[in-house]
Amino acid sequence: MQAVTIKRNALRALLVLHLLGIAIVIGSRAADLVVYRQTSQAGFQLLALGRDLAGAIGQSLTVPSLALIIVTGISMAFLRYGRRPPIWVWIKASVTVLVLFVAPALVGPSLRAAQEWAHWSADHNQLAPQFEPSAARASLYGAIVFALFLLNISIAVWKPFLSFKFPSLGRSDPGRDRREA
């Protein structure tokens, strides 16, 4: 009985940390959008500052929160299901691996390029022609990662329905209706 209580409390604590990580990731994405909206049309110096802030938000909030989500998610799945988790856990793991591939391979370099072009624009007091495409690319890749993140949340919410079995169209026992009457 004591082990069940410890396991339940550990799952609750991990869930709280997991949800906190999710909230921070969503909040940091919202902060990125606010910084972008406020600094994109304000001048070259603020443009560079906005890109620096977006990079700082990503490094200080998003990356550690994503790591927290991964660690707590794996821990909760192991505590709850042991070594043989259901299929939806493997689907979530696959989407997470995809996020971990896309984020550093595509988002990171495109954000750094946009940041460099923003600083070039501030130094030369004119907008670099490469800034807009690099910023658009960074936004696109960031949106893809965020969509995958939201897909992972929806898999967690709808997981009971992943094991749902649809009724068959044909009857397996055609005389059942006559016996029930």
Q: pLDDT truncated to tens, each residue of the chain (181 aa)? A: 688 889 999 999 999 999 999 999 889 888 988 888 888 777 888 888 888 888 888 888 888 998 899 999 989 999 988 888 888 888 888 998 898 888 888 888 888 898 899 899 889 988 889 988 988 898 898 889 889 988 988 888 887 665 554 455 555 555 555 555 5
pLDDT score recorded for residue 57 = 86
User: Angle at which helices 2-39 and 63-81 pack, to 10 degrees?
Assistant: 160
HEC readout, 133-175: HHHHHHHHHHHHHHHHHHHHHHHHHCHHHHCCCCCCCCCCCCC
Question: Where along the chain do its domains lie?
Answer: 2-161
